[in-house]
Each structure stands twice: as C-alpha cells, then as structure tokens.
Amino acid sequence: MILYPTIEIQNGRCVSLVRGRIEEPSIWHVDPVGKAQEFAHAGAEWMHVTDFDAMEGSNKNRDLIVSIIRGAGIPVQLGGGFRTRDRIEEWIDLGAGRIVVSTLAAQNPHLVKEIAKYHPDQIVLSVDVWKGHVMTHGWKTESSYTPEAFLEAFEGTPFAAIIVTDIDYDLRESDAALGVISAIAEKSRVPVIASGIVRTVDDVSRLRLLGEVSGAIVGRALFNKTIDLGEALREARPDTAHVAEFI
C-alpha cells in the first residue's frame, strides 16, 4: 500500500481544514518545499498537494506549487480546481505526476474520459461521498449521483487511481467502519486511494489488511502529529526497507 503524505496550500501557506471549513484553516508554520523534501527523505514514493485557492479560481499559488513539484524529489499528485482541459494539460507540462479531477468529472464526464485516454495513468478521479451521494465543488454541492452510478459511468477509463473520501467519516472523526471506501475498492478495477481515514499508524494497518485499498492520503494526522511518517510508511509497506533517494 502506498501512502501519500499531503500538503494543502492556501494563500501560500501550508494549512489544515477543520471539518472541511475552508474559511477557518489551521496554519502549519513550515516551508512547503522543505516539508515536501522531508517526505522524500522519510521514504515516501509519492506526495499529494491540494491547492485550496485554485478551487476558488485563483492562480496565486502557482509559483509555489511549481517549486514543490521541482524540488520535492518525488512525484506530486496535484488537486484543486481542475475544471478545464487547458489547466490540466498546463500542469502536466509543468511536471505534475498526476492530476486529480472531481467537479469536472460530474459536469463533463465525456471530456474527462477523453483526457484520461490521452494522458493514461496521469488522471486521478476523486469521489467525495456524503450520505450516499457524490459531492462536488469542494464538498459544497450534492450531485444526483450515487458513488456506484458515478463510477459505473467511467467504467473502462484508464485512470491512474480513484480517491474516495467518505465525508461523514472524515467529519465525525469516529471509529466507524470503512464501509463506503472498502465497498468501492472491492469492486473497482482501478486502484483506490482512501482519503480522510488515517489518523494513527493503526489506521494504516487496518487499511493494509483490508487488501483492496491500494493507498491512503495522510494529511491532517501529520499536521496534528498523531502519526510519524516514517513509521507509517514502514507499516504500509512492511515488505520493503526502501528510502527514497534525494539529491
């Protein structure tokens, strides 16, 4: 299982959102590029970056995110506000390893299928689920799709992965079963990455033992220091002792 340590960017700073409230971020007083390099030193194979300002249509973090991509030492999976083909292809050209799409997939599924076929293994579909429906626009809008119907519409699309967030689980911070994510992972032919689940190393162990989940995004737990990345990486991949090279 692959862990994706995460940096979330707002106004040029690393932040963490409490219960998804973008207007009330907690600030992580670290250098984003330096933190990305720490992830690489710890042995991460990939990292994830979310640009919250891009969700609102702003390009203010562009130079910073380019610096992260070029300085991290590991490939970057980038999400946040990808609503056009031009912007997706711009960031692929700038060096992003993968691009995460969510709202665009609900609004224009044919375009997303076309982009995924043109850029195989570089497009990731994000599915945010709340009370049995797929949410869009940063968890603000409820679509008419159930997650099952939504994913069925993309059957055969060569996505690199599917990120699944059970928003109810993420917001309640409970020990509820991993029902939504495990059910999707069991049926999916595309690797499924769990989001909003990992708060401790025990959560990493539970996900790995499920067997169907191929990866997990780890963000708030790093911010809150409830998890040590090196330990979590070893738990996720106990069969390897790999540490990423960094120059």
Query: What does the DSSP 8-state code read for residue 199?
Result: S
| Catalytically annotated residue among 45, 51, 53, 128 | 128
Question: How many CB atoms lie under 10 A from the CB of residue 124?
Answer: 25
- Cα separation, 136 vs 167, in Å, equals 12
- Cα separation, 10 vs 25, in Å, equals 8
Strand boundaries in the chain, DSSP class E: 2-10, 13-17, 25-28, 47-51, 76-79, 98-101, 123-130, 133-136, 141-142, 161-166, 192-195, 215-218
Q: Clarify whether 89 is annotated catalytic.
A: no
Q: Clarify whether 128 is annotated catalytic.
A: yes
- Residue 234's nearest CA partner among 30, 42, 23 is 42
- Cα separation, 102 vs 112, in Å, equals 10
| Catalytically annotated residue among 8, 53, 203, 235 | 8
Task: Please list the active-site residues.
Answer: 8, 128
